[in-house]
Amino acid sequence: MDGTLTEPVHDFELIRRELQIPSGADILEHLASLPAQQAADSHAWLMQHERELAEASVAAPGAVALIRALHAEGCRLGILTRNARELAEVTLAAIGVAECFAVEEIIGRWEVAPKPSPAGLQFFAERWAVAPAAMRMVGDHYYDLATARAAGVPGILINVPGDPWPGMAQWQLRDCAQLLEQWQASALG
């Protein structure tokens, strides 16, 4: 959600330094490789750090209007995050859209293999009984697009200037406000 529905605030290099993770390494993969007690201690620090960020979340431009419009139209909405489910719930409450998401449709790093695994999108396709091609994955990171591609779901890249991952996104839009405009014009199906 950080960088998609909310203003990006995670400083991943700071997290790596605090947890003694090599620069550029995948944080979750690294923590999974640690001895049990060290992993538990690192996850506890990470949860506290991320809770503080979640409580202070600020909605990204157009995010609240987009979520409310999709919800009002009866669109099925899910959250797939590399964060913990409980922190995603805190974030959604902080930006004022918690009521738009069923708790069981907020999938975090403990519920399924984290992005870029397609497991989360496969969960939604099965739960909602829809073909992956009928879904849309909206995100701001390579992991979001790789997850979408692996699951056969069209990916929408937002809040990222330029085209840092050519050919990965089916659509690239400025922000949630432009996504809402495009959806209302039925350009994205």
pLDDT of residue 2: 87
Cα(55)–Cα(110) distance, rounded to whole angstroms? 20
Residues 172-189 have pLDDT tens digits of: 999 999 999 999 997 555
Tokens matching residue 166? 């050519």
Tokens matching residue 88? 């995603």
Cα(35)–Cα(64) distance, rounded to whole angstroms? 41
Tokens matching residue 171? 């659509």
How much of the chain is helix, strand and coil, in % rounded to 5? 50, 10, 45
Residues 6-56 have pLDDT tens digits of: 999 989 999 999 999 999 999 999 999 999 999 999 999 999 999 999 999
Cα(93)–Cα(103) distance, rounded to whole angstroms? 12
Q: How much is the pTM? A: 0.90
